[in-house]
């Protein structure tokens, strides 16, 4: 009872620290008119004082950020229509169907304005030919400006704003003179009512046509550059007639890269002063979510942001006063995010494949290698497993070392940092044995991940085993993969103490595991609500196995109640902070079922991404069977290692629950098993080597 009380007090202290309210946000200024220029496929590298004078002026006098245009899309290159739909809904939604029909969430932005008697206008056409009639629901400017009924007050998104351009890729370009006339007419319509807010959305159109003209090689780049020129010209038109009480927003709604993953979409807000945009949703200066634009537009017009909008109102942080330096910073962040994205999946699947190969080879050596060969080969394989398990800690160290500018630089930094960690672990292995070194490495990795979250997550931001900045579904806290390594590392570290000092150390799973789950779940830290389920299952399963205690309905009920209480507490803290995490935005936005569908789809995609991952269910099932019915040589290792058996029990429980609760549950299952499975094979190899020496 006293232990439970002390554990509760420790967790309560951690919660109290995280519950301290954030500093109050400065009041958002109010404007009468918002003008939005859609700039699909524009990149930061395109902007310069010479080639894009309009955009350069925006940067000189405005605030900038990189927008994650994927906004949770499973397609790495969603088009400009989907980006417009996200702006319209203020949340991640699919693109409208080919007939223009969309979900019920479309039209929230325009609807919020028209509901108070305001006006909206849409100008610009994506039409590919003069004879083509694009459905109204597939025209980006109209999608953004329309209300839930598809109504706008001023619509100039037909062929009238286009003109023939023989010799160009698309054969059609935007007529800038007509766009300027339409823009001024829209301003007159909006400003005829002195007290009403107004939104004008300008779509240059040429960039959209560029994607169809050629999506690879020189054809794409030539057409895209022509689209950039048109975007800059439309920006200058917007600036020339911009009222004094208006704000101009440039937002790239989609990206398409010929080489490597696409990067951030440039976002520039003119009218709030120079600086860098800060999003409470991302908790990073210069990195925003696409739905943040929608929430900010509504707020700047003095309106209440709809509950179902998942974005946050942007703030201006005056941290980089010089325009050239702001642009350079954006280019560097974009390059770094693309570099980290390029290495993410190869490293994931490479680690899983290498682990499967080494684990299989290690088991083979422990079971079948003859005589002295088992000792030499087994020791080599044990050391190899220790070195491989240094990769997660190496990835943290690499992120702290600096920002890579390309994929090669990211690989080099990861290799060097992993080599440093592996060398330290191998020295420990030579002195104390591979099993001891692996336990220290696993526990140290878990401690480093937890400490990084408590310190604000500098190593987690965009890390290989953390969340993706470009994917846009998670921007801070603890990604699923890092959470799996935290739980698996903790289980393995505690297992060593149980095996060395007996079952009396089983409470270590609770003393260390419960605070780790709290760190992972709290919105001010890890903000990963799913860990309450599968992390809790891991801790409970490991503790019961190590303590030699059965799982009863009462214990299960207490564990479930604790997880539910933690989730409820996290939700309550979310409402206090003013900037909801993923949990708070889902609960307020009502998109729970969409979130579940996306989780299942992503898990299935990962499972099919590489053949080696398909072996995961087989491996987890085999380990679960061994735990239930320990047989043979490996069974004898488990029977005499209470801590190792407990760690594997916890990781298997986590693996099964994570598949059902996480969007990357398959990856979680693989990574939560990494340290415990490696510890099992190393223990088997050391046991076999000891038998050989005894004989």
Structure tokens at 487: 């739980």
Q: Where are the domains of the chain?
A: 34-321, 341-694
Considering the chain, what is the average pLDDT of its residues? 82
- What is the Cα–Cα distance from 612 to 102, expressed in whole angstroms? 38
In this prediction the pTM is 0.85
Q: According to the model, what pLDDT value does residue 594 have?
A: 54
Which secondary-structure segment (H or E) carries 166? Answer: none
For 122-162, give the DSSP string.
EE----SSTT----GGG-HHHHHH--TTS--SEEE-SGGGE
What is each CA distance from 210 to 143, 218, 230, 369, 592, in whole angstroms? 20, 12, 11, 61, 36
C-beta of residue 229 within 8 angstroms of C-beta of residue 303: no
527-543: pLDDT as tens digits? 888 888 888 889 988 88
What is the average pLDDT across 448-475? 85
111-144: pLDDT as tens digits? 999 999 999 999 998 877 666 667 777 889 999 9
The SS3 assignment for 198 reads strand
88 has pLDDT over 50: yes
The CATH code of domain 34-321 reads: 3.40.720.10
What are the φ and ψ backbone dihedral angles of 160, each rounded to 5 degrees? Answer: -65, -25
**pLDDT tier at 19 (50, 70, 90 boundaries)?**
very low
694 has pLDDT over 50: no
Q: Comparing 403 with 28, which gets the higher pLDDT?
A: 403
- Residue 671's nearest CA partner among 518, 471, 492 is 492
- Residue 333's nearest CA partner among 237, 475, 208, 450 is 475
C-beta of residue 509 within 8 angstroms of C-beta of residue 544: no
693 has pLDDT over 60: no
Residue 374's contacts (CB-CB under 8 Å, 6 or more residues apart) are 365, 366, 688, 689, 692
Query: Over pLDDT 90: what percentage of the chain?
Result: 35
**pLDDT tier at 247 (50, 70, 90 boundaries)?**
very high
Radius of gyration of the chain (CA): 28
380-412: pLDDT as tens digits? 999 999 999 999 999 999 988 888 888 899 999
- What is the Cα–Cα distance from 458 to 396, expressed in whole angstroms? 9
311-360: pLDDT as tens digits? 889 999 876 678 888 889 999 999 999 999 899 888 888 888 888 888 88
Kindly give the residue spans of alpha helices, DSSP state H, lying in 522-552. Answer: 531-547
Residue 263's contacts (CB-CB under 8 Å, 6 or more residues apart) are 43, 44, 66, 255, 257, 334, 335, 337, 338, 470
State the sign of the Cα–Cα–Cα–Cα dihedral 606, 610, 612, 617: positive
What is each CA distance from 234 to 163, 227, 486, in whole angstroms? 15, 11, 50
560 has pLDDT over 60: yes
Q: According to the model, what pLDDT value does residue 695 have?
A: 42
Q: According to the model, what pLDDT value does residue 22 have?
A: 46
**pLDDT tier at 86 (50, 70, 90 boundaries)?**
very high
**pLDDT tier at 1 (50, 70, 90 boundaries)?**
very low
Q: Choose the most confident range, by mean pLDDT, from 1-15, 88-102, 174-188.
A: 174-188
**pLDDT tier at 24 (50, 70, 90 boundaries)?**
very low
555 has pLDDT over 90: no
How would you class 202 by CB atoms within 10 Å of its CB: exposed for 0-12, middle for 13-18, buried for 19 or more? buried
Q: According to the model, what pLDDT value does residue 123 have?
A: 94
**pLDDT tier at 9 (50, 70, 90 boundaries)?**
very low
What is the average pLDDT across 189-200? 84
The SS3 assignment for 90 reads coil
Which secondary-structure segment (H or E) carries 195? Answer: none
Number of helices (H) and strands (E), helices first, in the chain? Answer: 25, 13
**pLDDT tier at 634 (50, 70, 90 boundaries)?**
confident
Q: According to the model, what pLDDT value does residue 17 have?
A: 47
Q: According to the model, what pLDDT value does residue 612 have?
A: 47
Structure tokens at 135: 């459905």
Q: According to the model, what pLDDT value does residue 601 have?
A: 53
Q: According to the model, what pLDDT value does residue 422 have?
A: 95
Q: According to the model, what pLDDT value does residue 257 have?
A: 83
Q: According to the model, what pLDDT value does residue 485 have?
A: 93
């Amino acid at each position: 009872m006293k232990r439970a009380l002390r554990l509760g007090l420790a967790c309560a202290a951690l919660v109290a620290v995280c519950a301290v309210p954030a500093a109050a946000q400065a009041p958002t200024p109010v404007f009468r008119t918002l003008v939005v220029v859609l700039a699909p496929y524009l990149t930061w590298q395109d902007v310069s004082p010479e080639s894009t004078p309009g955009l350069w002026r925006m940067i000189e006098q405005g605030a900038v950020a990189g927008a994650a245009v994927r906004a949770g899309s499973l397609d790495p290159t969603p088009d400009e229509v989907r980006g417009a739909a996200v702006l319209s809904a203020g949340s991640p939604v699919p693109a409208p169907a080919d007939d223009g029909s969309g979900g019920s969430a479309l039209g929230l932005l325009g609807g919020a304005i028209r509901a108070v008697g305001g006006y909206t206008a849409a100008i610009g056409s994506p039409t590919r030919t003069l004879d083509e009639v694009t459905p109204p629901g597939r025209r980006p400017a109209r999608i953004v400006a329309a209300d839930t009924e598809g109504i706008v007050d001023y619509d100039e998104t037909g062929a009238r704003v286009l003109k023939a351009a023989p010799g160009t890729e698309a054969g059609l370009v935007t007529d800038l003179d007509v766009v300027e006339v339409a823009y001024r007419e829209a301003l007159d319509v909006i400003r005829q009512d002195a007290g009403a807010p107004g939104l004008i959305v300008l779509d240059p159109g040429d960039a959209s046509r560029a994607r169809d003209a050629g999506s690879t090689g020189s054809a794409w780049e030539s057409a895209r550059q022509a689209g950039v020129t048109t975007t800059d010209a439309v920006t200058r038109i917007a600036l020339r007639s911009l009222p004094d009480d208006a704000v101009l927003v440039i937002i790239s709604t989609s990206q398409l890269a010929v080489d490597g993953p696409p990067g951030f979409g440039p976002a520039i807000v003119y009218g709030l002063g120079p600086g860098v945009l800060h999003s409470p949703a991302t908790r990073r200066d210069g990195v925003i979510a696409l739905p943040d634009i929608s929430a900010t537009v509504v707020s700047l017009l003095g309106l209440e942001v709809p509950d179902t909008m998942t974005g946050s109102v942007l703030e201006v942080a005056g941290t980089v006063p010089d325009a050239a330096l702001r642009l350079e910073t954006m280019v560097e962040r974009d390059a770094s995010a693309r570099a980290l994205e390029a290495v993410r999946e190869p490293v994931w699947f490479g680690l899983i494949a290498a682990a499967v190969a080494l684990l299989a080879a290690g088991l083979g050596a422990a079971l079948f290698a003859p005589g002295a060969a088992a000792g030499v080969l087994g020791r080599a394989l044990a050391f190899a497993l220790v070195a491989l398990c240094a990769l997660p800690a190496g990835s943290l160290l690499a992120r702290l070392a600096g920002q890579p500018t390309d994929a090669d630089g990211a690989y080099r930094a990861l290799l060097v940092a992993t080599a440093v960690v592996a060398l330290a672990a191998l020295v420990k292995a030579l002195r104390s044995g591979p099993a001891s070194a692996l336990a220290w490495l696993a526990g140290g990795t878990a401690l480093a991940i937890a400490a990084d979250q408590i310190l604000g997550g500098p190593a987690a931001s965009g890390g290989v085993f953390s969340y993706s900045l470009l994917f846009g579904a998670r921007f801070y806290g603890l990604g699923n993969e890092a959470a799996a390594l935290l739980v698996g590392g903790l289980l393995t570290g505690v297992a060593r103490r149980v095996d060395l000092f007996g079952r009396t150390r089983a409470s270590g799973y609770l003393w260390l595991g419960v605070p780790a789950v709290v760190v992972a779940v709290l919105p001010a830290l890890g903000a990963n609500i799913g860990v309450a389920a599968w992390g809790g299952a891991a801790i409970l399963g490991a503790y019961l196995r190590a303590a030699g205690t059965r799982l009863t309905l009462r214990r299960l009920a207490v564990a479930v109640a604790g997880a539910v209480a933690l989730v409820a507490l996290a939700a309550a803290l979310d409402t206090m902070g003013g900037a909801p995490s993923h949990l708070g935005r889902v609960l307020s936005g009502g998109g729970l079922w969409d979130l579940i569908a996306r989780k299942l789809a992503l898990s299935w995609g990962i499972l099919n991404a590489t053949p080696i991952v398909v072996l995961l269910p087989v491996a987890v099932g085999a380990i679960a069977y061994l735990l239930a019915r320990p047989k043979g040589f490996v069974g004898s290792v488990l029977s005499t290692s209470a801590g190792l058996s407990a760690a594997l029990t916890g990781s298997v429980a986590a693996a099964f629950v994570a598949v059902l609760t996480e969007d990357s549950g398959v990856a979680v299952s693989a990574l939560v098993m990494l340290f415990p499975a490696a510890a099992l094979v190393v223990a088997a190899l050391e046991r076999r080597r000891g038998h050989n020496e005894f004989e």
